[in-house]
Structure 1
Amino acid sequence: MMLFAHRLPDGLLRQVAEFLPSCVTAARALRKHPDVPRRARIALLVAALWVLSPIDLLPEFLPVIGPLDDVVAVVLLLRYAARSIPRETLLNAWPTDPRLLERLLGAGRRAG
């Protein structure tokens, strides 16, 4: 599904399909940014490694719940890291539509 995300119509399904690759791309962009504290860098590194790791708690071939462990782990680690990263820095590093990221982080919470 992630491979064909660019073919999906704009909307929530496309945002969800692009979520994990966007997390990896954002983590790579933020790893050397001066506004990102060390604990946030470590959380982003763990999130990226979790997604890229071939070892999973739930096998990927299980429909729907297979990628669920990746998504839950990345969401929790991203929310943890976002508490100490300025919101503007995080949004600038996000490679796709930021609406899903804003929804994930909460519109009222301001990092930094």
Structure 2
Amino acid sequence: MTGWWWADLLLAVAGGLVLLWAASIIALAVAGPRGPLLKEALRVLPDLLRLVRRLAADPDLPRGVRVRLGLLFAYLALPFDLVPDFIPVLGYADDAVVVALVLRSVVRRAGIDAVRAHWPGTGDGFAVLCRLTGLPLPRNG
């Protein structure tokens, strides 16, 4: 029996990973945008991705912002999703939810003015970004 300790360890690690995955799905469902805001986030996703690339290339932003954005790029580049696409709604929306959560953190750290300066889309799209990040639209925006 003592020779099978590695099997117990493997089962414990696999169980821990399953629990972590389940917690991630719950966190995405709770923290992510819902209803019309989710549809708007999916609509402006191309602009959001261009914004992320531009922010990551800006050397004037704090290092923590660029690290967060680099981790976001790594997540988006993975060939598999956190939530498989066959799961209704969240399967296709997980990338938009993850982008929105990272952008909330980035916008709060970098500032809304820096984000506005790099925004590649329309004013309506920027309004969606502000709603996604939980920030009010700037007076001049």
Q: TM-score of the superposition, structure 2-length normalised?
A: 0.58
Aligned to 2:128: 100
The answer for the alignment partner of 1:30 in structure 2 is 55
Query: Match of 1:86?
Result: 111
What whole-Å deviation, never above 9, does each CA across 1:3-30 have from its counterpart, x for those lacking one?
xxxxxxxx96873233332222111111
> How far does the alpha carbon of each residue in 1:16-69 deviate from its partner, in whole angstroms, 9 at most, with x for none?
233332222111111221331111011112223323322112112433221232
Identity %: 33
Q: Contact between 1:29 and 1:93, CA under 8 Å: does it hold in 2?
A: yes
CA distance in structure 1 between the aligned counterparts of 2:43 and 2:54, rounded to whole angstroms: 16
Tell me the matched-pair count: 99
If each structure's helix is expressed as a fraction of its own residues, which one has the higher value? 2
Q: What is residue 5 of structure 1 aligned with on the other side?
A: none
* TM-score relative to the length of structure 1: 0.70
* Aligned CA-pair RMSD: 2.6
Q: Distance in 1 between matches of 2:116 and 2:89?
A: 28
What runs of 5+ residues in structure 2 fail to find an aligned partner? 1-35
Bigger CA radius of gyration: 2
The alpha-carbon distance between structure 1 residues 108 and 26, as it changes in their structure 2 partners (threshold 3 A), is closer
Q: Name the counterpart of 1:77.
A: 102
Gaps of 5+ in 1: 1-10
